[in-house]
Amino acid sequence: MADADNNDIAQNARKYWSAEGYTPGGVIREVDYATQSGGLDPMFEGIKIVDTDTHITEAPDLFTSRAPAKWKDKVPQVKLDKDGVERWYVGDRNFGSMGGNVIRADNNKLLGRLAFPLLEQAHPGGHQLKERLQAMDDMGVYAQIGFQNSGVTQAGSLMSLGDNELALAIVQMYNDASADFQNASGQRIFNMAHLPFWDQKAMEAEARRCHDIGLRGFVLPDTPERVGVPSFMHDYWTGFLEMCEATGMPLNFHLNSAVDPNTLTWEGFQFEQTLSVVATMFSIGNAATLGNWCVSGRLDQHPKLKIGLIESGAGWVPFAIEALEHQFNEMLPRFSKTLNRRPAEYFRDHFWCTFWFEKVAPKILLETIGEDKLMFETDFPHPTSLYPGVQAHLKDVLGGYSYETQKKVLQDNATKLYNLPF
């Protein structure tokens, strides 16, 4: 296993969300919710819209309610810090905030910050099922693909606990909670599974267990070597990837966490200025994820592998593919006989991408990206979320397409990627 800076990776959970995003400030956008919460527009009647990137805030009792007696005091718990912000703790270790929650309980939206300091200030649909389903109905969304909100399950921090059994149990509790939420939702909310990928045998066993309990996919980092785990080039991953092929469970790369956009912003910026650039660059960073898989040869070894590039937008995709096509010609002469396909073919055969606020990508670039490859998301309840006005936006960007194409983008592509039961 590669060397890693244990002190640095131990802070992964705490640093998952910037502490400055929870300080006083920001601006409340008043939302005329009554006029923008009318459910599915008649244009899309018969389509079960799948929102392919949302975030389920981990409930404060998620771990304590599932932990056996020996771990009740050891699993993550929420504490109120002296600065008035609720954070996750494992023992006396700070595991970071409760995530991005900018939709207020009264349906208005906080701008310029990452969340309200207290969960009770935020929309209850962030973590409570009944209110979440109502918010989905108001948006005209039938199903949601969910991802973590806080950093409480970040691998580096769990690995640094010095108790592999506890670390594995925390991941399993998270996955069990996701399965419970999925079943209680009536198979409308599908949270992606986490894995103890620092332990090969435990990872493969947990992946099989996640499949058996009905979860629909996995979320992983693009560069696991950053926490001392072999890269995807290593045989360490082969058994797991073969299992993903056999079951049809996709990998999801949610943004590109290997990129630190904070290093790209100018010194002297205010928090909001930095946040604007950082949010943009995190999305574009998944071009590196696409490139890594295309040049690796891994996709030739696993021809049925499915990969979602999530919360990354879509407008950059045509350029990235065209650039990779050029680099294949100019930079990879020695690999021309070992890579079986071209970048455009790898994208066509393996990848799906998402859009939310964009207009250019769905309106103008859909044919170039591929109408079988694009999915819709809202990013609820995060700072960049498309909120409210979901149906108006979809009518604007997809209104010029046939019903068949609309159904592909809004339902069928997600159903294929995630093997959804409808």
- Among 384, 278, 283, which Cα is nearest to 18's? 278
Q: For residues 159 and 274, what is the distance between their CA atoms, to the nearest angstrom?
A: 30
Size of the chain in residues = 422
User: Is residue 52's pLDDT more than 50?
Assistant: yes
- Which pTM does this prediction carry? 0.96
Indicate the DSSP class of residue 97: E
Residue with tokens 């006989």: 337
Q: For residues 223 and 288, what is the distance between their CA atoms, to the nearest angstrom?
A: 10
Q: For residues 289 and 299, what is the distance between their CA atoms, to the nearest angstrom?
A: 13
Residue 357 confidence class, pLDDT cut points 50, 70, 90:
very high
Query: What sections of 222-263 are H helices per DSSP?
Result: 238-247
What are the tens digits of pLDDT across the range 155-206? 999 999 999 999 999 999 999 999 999 999 999 999 999 999 999 999 999 9
Q: 191 and 182 in contact (C-beta within 8 Å)? A: yes
Q: For residues 110 and 103, what is the distance between their CA atoms, to the nearest angstrom?
A: 6
What are the tens digits of pLDDT across the range 226-272? 999 999 999 999 999 999 999 999 999 998 666 788 889 999 999 99
For residue 103, give the 3-state DSSP assignment.
strand
| Residue 327 tokens, joined | 């680099």
